[in-house]
Amino acid sequence: MSRPLSVVQGGRETATRAVSLAGVRIAFPGTGRADAPFVAVDGVDLDVADGEFVAIVGPTGCGKSTLLNATAGLLVPAAGSVSIFGAPLAGLNRQAGYLFQAEALFPWKTALDNVAIGLDVAGTPHEEARARAREWLSRVGLAAFADRYPHMLSGGQRKRVGLAQVLIRDPKILLMDEPFGPLDAQTRQIMGALLLDLWSHDRKAVMFVTHDLEEAIALADRVVIMGAGPASRIIGEWRVPIARPRDMDVRLDAAFHQLHREIWSALKDEVVKGYQQSESVG
Amino acid sequence: MMRNRMALVALQILVAVVLIGIWHFGSTIKLDWPAISPKPFYPLDPFFFSTPLAVFQRTFNDFYTGVIWYHLGITLLETMLAFVIGAAGGVLIGFWFARKALLAAVFDPYVKMANALPRVVLAPIFALWLGLGIWSKVALGVTLVFFIVFFNVYQGVKEVSPTLLANARMLGMNERQLMRNVFWPSALSWMFSSLHTAVGFALVGAVVGEYLGSAAGLGYRIHQAEGVFDVTGVFSGMLVLAIFVIIIDTVVSAIENRLMVWRPAPASAQG
């Protein structure tokens, strides 16, 4: 089942490709001397149109994050190519903003300085950077928390700061690696709604990695499913035919359930496979 | 909370009162127990233990007449110099080693060797090289402070979160900006986390150095007193040293609180 199950050709398909992965293979050196390198993903083709929100779903250890890192330029693929707006990627992807799964705020900077740092390093005058950072903090609902240090904020608030930190630089591509993973279910939904709201203003291309199928369907235009690793591939993709703007009630929608059932039936086997593999390795 | 605090302070004072009480009565009241000794005797012979009153009186006198200030000043100067030089060296070398893996690997056995050496044995060498003035004491303190700060900073810089680093890169930082915004604050935070220990060791270096050979300082005073069996002088010197340490530690805590606001408070200090 390495062939996409169904790809609905929409009008967007002809738009500019923000991200184009072709035949991407990512390998890590083996642990022992005689070990073959560990191949995380292999033969991945994925296009993300400008303004498209793509969610990548797969079982644990399938190399979803690896794919994002390759798109960000943090990892160099062993084979295949990564193109950003038609140009092959060399070095770091300067067009992309990356929201990490783990804590990535600067603990010694206040929320305000954390948000402003992207502008600071780009040479924006100090006061202007602060003014814009304040604006962004209020956009993510944290205007009152500008002077707090990360450890004084809740997990959800830290993610909001992280979101503002990434978006203030106005990247054309947004890479998100299970950004709301560590949060509780309600906070995740609220963060998803916030993300969609922010995204609807300027529709960046988004690659959103998650293990949560519901979250993927609720947020994305297109859901891409990856198989279990190692050497995992894309095993299918679905367009999400739910109109925007979506609110949190989208999960109650009949079309949502229909699609969820359909994707889950394909994903289920891979999840079991991935789980067994991770068990046998660990 | 407030009542708890008061009770705690009361208990702390009680401990001091009891200990000083035992010392006082033991060294001033003669016991007549023929079973132990045919003559009446002091349980704590004032020749060996002095008396609390004499110690306080001597200490007060030293401050009153002002002779102690000069020695305190010398010890403070040595401590500060040892700390500043040792910490600066530790930060710089620690930072450098952490960024250059080869360098760290080459020097690794030598660093371990030097750190394993009991520093006291260096004191005579430093006295030979640098004379009996303050610099031989500063050097001894530096060898103690340097390694504490060095190991902390080295570890701190090496263990900067890879996610934080990746995030900083993605936010557009070049190498210089990474240094300024990621590695440097990280190194400093580790240096400050070892601040109490480092300052303590700077003082140990100064006092031990003075004790082993000098013409001024608290260690010198204690050594002089010991040389003439002046136990009161020794205890008085220790008392001054203890007060000195508490004051320095308070100052360090105040500095730390100012600089480390971004740090989560340790669990014990909360509430």
Give the CATH number of the domain where residue A273 resides. 3.40.50.300
Quick check: B193 contacting A, CB < 8 Å? no
Task: Indicate the pLDDT class of residue A252, thresholds 50, 70 and 90.
Answer: confident
- Please classify residue B262 by burial: count the beta carbons closer than 10 Å to its beta carbon, then call 0-12 exposed, 13-18 middle and 19+ buried: middle
The residue segments making up the domain with residue A235 are: 1-95+173-182+204-282
Domain boundary among A121, A150, A170: A170
Determine the distance in angstroms separating the CA of B256 from the nearest CA of chain A, rounded to an integer. 14
Please check whether residue A194 lies inside any domain of the structure.
no
Give me B154's structure tokens.
Answer: 């080295």
Determine the distance in angstroms separating the CA of B170 from the nearest CA of chain A, rounded to an integer. 7
The number of C-beta contacts closer than 8 angstroms across A and B is 61
Which residues neighbour B249 within 8 Å (Cβ) at sequence distance 6 or greater? B196, B199, B200
Please check whether residue A188 lies inside any domain of the structure.
no
Interface of A with B (CB under 8 A): 72, 74, 92, 94, 96-98, 100-104, 106-110, 117-118, 121-122, 149-151, 165-166, 169
Determine the distance in angstroms separating the CA of A242 from the nearest CA of chain B, rounded to an integer. 32
pLDDT, position A184: 87
Domain boundary among A147, A170, A193: A170
What is the widest separation between alpha-carbon atoms in chain A?
Answer: 56
Determine the distance in angstroms separating the CA of B165 from the nearest CA of chain A, rounded to an integer. 8
Q: Are residues A163 and A110 in the same domain?
A: yes
Please check whether residue A187 lies inside any domain of the structure.
no
Q: Do B187 and B97 contact (CB within 8 A), yes or no?
A: no
Please check whether residue A220 lies inside any domain of the structure.
yes
Q: Are residues A71 and A178 in the same domain?
A: yes
Please check whether residue A211 lies inside any domain of the structure.
yes
Residue A109 to residue B108: CA distance in whole angstroms: 33
Q: Are residues A119 and A233 in the same domain?
A: no
Interchain CB distance below 8 Å, A74 and B170:
yes
pLDDT, position B265: 65
Handedness of CA A139, A143, A148, A154 (dihedral sign): negative
Interchain CB distance below 8 Å, A169 and B171:
yes
Q: Are residues A212 and A85 in the same domain?
A: yes
Q: Of A11-25, A36-50, B68-82, where does the model show the most confidence?
A: B68-82
Choose among A100, A122, A150: nearest Cβ to B167.
Answer: A100
B55-70 average pLDDT score? 92
Choose among A98, A149, A169: nearest Cβ to B261.
Answer: A149
Choose among A72, A97, A106: nearest Cβ to B164.
Answer: A106
Q: Are residues A16 and A71 in the same domain?
A: yes
Interchain CB distance below 8 Å, B164 and A122:
no
Which residues neighbour B6 within 8 Å (Cβ) at sequence distance 6 or greater? none
Task: Indicate the pLDDT class of residue B271, thresholds 50, 70 and 90.
Answer: very low
Domain count, chain A: 2
Determine the distance in angstroms separating the CA of B262 from the nearest CA of chain A, rounded to an integer. 5
Its ipTM equals 0.85
Please check whether residue A143 lies inside any domain of the structure.
yes
A95-108 average pLDDT score? 91
Gyration radius of chain A's alpha carbons: 19
B160-168 average pLDDT score? 92
Mutate to test the interface with A, among B164, B170, B258 (most CBs of A within 10 A): B170
Instruction: Compute φ and ψ for B143, nearest 5 degrees.
Output: -65, -30
Q: Are residues A216 and A236 in the same domain?
A: yes
Q: Are residues A61 and A178 in the same domain?
A: yes
Residue A147 to residue A137: CA distance in whole angstroms: 11
- pLDDT tens-digit map of B117-147: 888 888 889 989 998 889 999 999 999 999 9
Q: Are residues A146 and A27 in the same domain?
A: no
Q: Are residues A159 and A234 in the same domain?
A: no
Choose among B168, B170, B185: nearest Cβ to A72.
Answer: B170
Choose among A96, A102, A149: nearest Cβ to B262.
Answer: A149
Percent of chain A with pLDDT over 90: 38
Quick check: B34 contacting A, CB < 8 Å? no
Quick check: B164 contacting A, CB < 8 Å? yes
**Average model confidence (pLDDT) across chain A:** 85
Encode burial over A104-124: b for 16+ CB neighbours within 10 A, e otherwise.
Answer: bbbbbbbbbbbbbbbbbbeeb
Residue of chain B whose alpha carbon sits nearest to that of A116: B171
Please list every residue in chain A whose beta carbon sits closer than 8 Å to the beta carbon of residue B173: 121
Residue of chain A whose alpha carbon sits nearest to that of B182: A106
B21, pLDDT greater than 90: yes
Choose among B166, B181, B261: nearest Cβ to A74.
Answer: B166
pLDDT, position A119: 93
Q: Which domains does chain B have, with CATH numbers?
A: 1-49 (no CATH), 56-264 (1.10.3720.10)
Residue count of chain A, please give it.
282
Task: Indicate the pLDDT class of residue B206, thresholds 50, 70 and 90.
Answer: very high
Please list every residue in chain B whose beta carbon sits closer than 8 Å to the beta carbon of residue A113: none
Determine the distance in angstroms separating the CA of B65 from the nearest CA of chain A, rounded to an integer. 48
Please check whether residue A142 lies inside any domain of the structure.
yes
Residue B30 to residue B40: CA distance in whole angstroms: 6
Please check whether residue A198 lies inside any domain of the structure.
no
Choose among A101, A110, A118: nearest Cβ to B172.
Answer: A118
- Using a cut of 0.95, tell me whether the model's pTM lies above it: no
Q: Do A228 and A274 contact (CB within 8 A), yes or no?
A: yes
Q: Are residues A126 and A244 in the same domain?
A: no
Q: Are residues A51 and A122 in the same domain?
A: no
Q: Are residues A25 and A116 in the same domain?
A: no
Determine the distance in angstroms separating the CA of A118 from the nearest CA of chain B, rounded to an integer. 5
